[in-house]
Amino acid sequence: MSTNANSMTAYIHCKLCLKEIADGVPDTDADDGISPRDYQMLEAGWTDDGVQVWCRRHDVNVCHVMVKDGKIEIDGTRSLRPNEKMPIVEKVPVKKRDINS
Instruction: Count up the domains in the chain and report the number.
Output: 1
Interval 44-62: pLDDT, tens: 999 998 999 999 998 888 8
Q: Considering the chain, what is the average pLDDT of its residues?
A: 74
State which residues form the domain around 66: 40-91
Interval 69-96: pLDDT, tens: 888 888 877 644 444 455 544 444 444 4
pTM reported for the whole predicted model: 0.66
| 68 found inside a domain | yes
Q: How confident is the model at residue 37 (pLDDT cuts 50, 70, 90)?
A: confident
| 18 found inside a domain | no
Judged by DSSP in three states, 14 sits in strand
Are 10 and 94 a contacting pair, CB within 8 Å? yes
Pick from 14, 7, 26, 3: nearest CA to 78: 14
| 84 found inside a domain | yes
Please count the CA atoms within 13 angstroms of the CA of 5 that sit on its side-chain side.
Answer: 5
| 70 found inside a domain | yes
| 9 found inside a domain | no
Q: How confident is the model at residue 41 (pLDDT cuts 50, 70, 90)?
A: very high
